[in-house]
Amino acid sequence: MKCILYFAICFTLATICDAQTLGGIAEVSIIDRDNGAVLSPHFYRGEYWVAGRPGVRYAIEIRNRLGERLLAVTSVDGVNVISGATAGWDQTGYVFSPGERYQITGWRKTDAEVADFTFTDSPNSYAERTGRPANVGVIGVAVFRERQPLPAYAPPMIGQSSGQPEARRADESAPSESRANAATAQAQTLPSMPAPMPLAGLRAAAPAAKLGTGHGEHEYSYVNHTEFSRMQTQPNEVIRIHYDSLDNLLAMGIVKRPRPMPPAANPFPASPGQTYVPDPPG
C-alpha cells in the first residue's frame, strides 16, 4: 500500500550516549531543548520513563540505524504529531533515509512550521484540551521497513555449449533471493516493546498532576513529501517512552531518591595536620 508521507529534509546532528537511546532498527531519545541534554531513561516494570521539567521545550530524536529507508509513525499523548488525529499505526509519519537523524520538535502545522512540544501540566496538554486525556504521558514511535522492489526476471539464454555456464548463472542468482528471505525473516522476528503494565496504581501514588505535552510557540521546520510502501501492515518495531515530572517519578518509585551521605567524623578535630609535641611554656 502506497501513501503520501512526510520526508524530513533537515536533520540535527547530536552526540548521544547509547545508554540514553532506545530501540533496535531505529534509535529514539528525548532531548531537553533548553539545555541540549538527553533525558536518561529509567526502566521500571517493563516500561521506560523519562523525567521532564515543566515549561521546558523538548524534541523526539530518531536515528535510522539501517542502510535503507524507514517510516516512523510518531505519537505524543496518543495523538499523531503530524495530522493531530488520534494515533494509529496506519497513519502518516516521517521517512528517514539510511543513517539519517532528525529531531521532531513539535506538532506539525504546515510543511514549514511546527508548534513546539512543551512539558506542561496535564490539563494544559494538547491532548486533554482536545478532549483526549486517556493517554497523556506517553510517546510512541512505530517503525516500518520499506518494501523493496522485486528483482527483474532474467529469461534463460539459449545455445550454451555446456551446462557449466548455466549452473554458474543459477548460483549467481541465489544470493539475491536469500537476501530477500533474510530481510523478511528479520522483519518478522525483530523484538518489540513488552505489553504495557497497568498504570492505575502508579498514578494513584503521584502527589501532583501528571505531566503532558502542550501546544507551544510556532517555529520553522521544513519537510517535503514522498511515497513509502510498507513491508508489512504491522510495525517492525514499536518504541514506547513514558514521561512525567521528576517529583512524580520519585513518588512512584521509578526514580530512586538519593540517600544523603552522613558527614565524615574526624577523630582529631583540633589537629589540622601531622605535627610534633610542642615545648612547654617558659
Q: 147-170, pLDDT tens digit by residue?
A: 987 776 666 666 544 444 333 333
So what's the pLDDT on residue 130? Answer: 97
Q: For residues 181 and 50, what is the distance between their CA atoms, to the nearest angstrom?
A: 38
Average pLDDT, the chain: 78
So what's the pLDDT on residue 23? Answer: 65
Between 84 and 5, the higher pLDDT residue? 84
Q: 233-270, pLDDT tens digit by residue?
A: 999 999 999 999 999 999 999 998 777 777 777 777 77
pLDDT surpassing 80 at residue 205: no
Arithmetic mean of pLDDT, 62-71: 94
Arithmetic mean of pLDDT, 177-203: 40
Arithmetic mean of pLDDT, 192-198: 48
So what's the pLDDT on residue 277? Answer: 74
In the chain, % of residues over pLDDT 70: 70
Tell me which residue of 234, 81, 66 sits closest to 144, measured CA to CA.
Answer: 234
Say what the pTM is.
0.69
Between 59 and 169, the higher pLDDT residue? 59
Q: Name the residue ranges covered by the structural domains of the chain.
A: 2-149+165-251
Cell digits for 19? 545508554
Arithmetic mean of pLDDT, 20-29: 80
Q: What are phi and psi of 51, to 5 degrees?
A: -100, 120
Q: Report CA-CA distances (Å) from 78 to 10, 177, 251.
A: 25, 39, 24
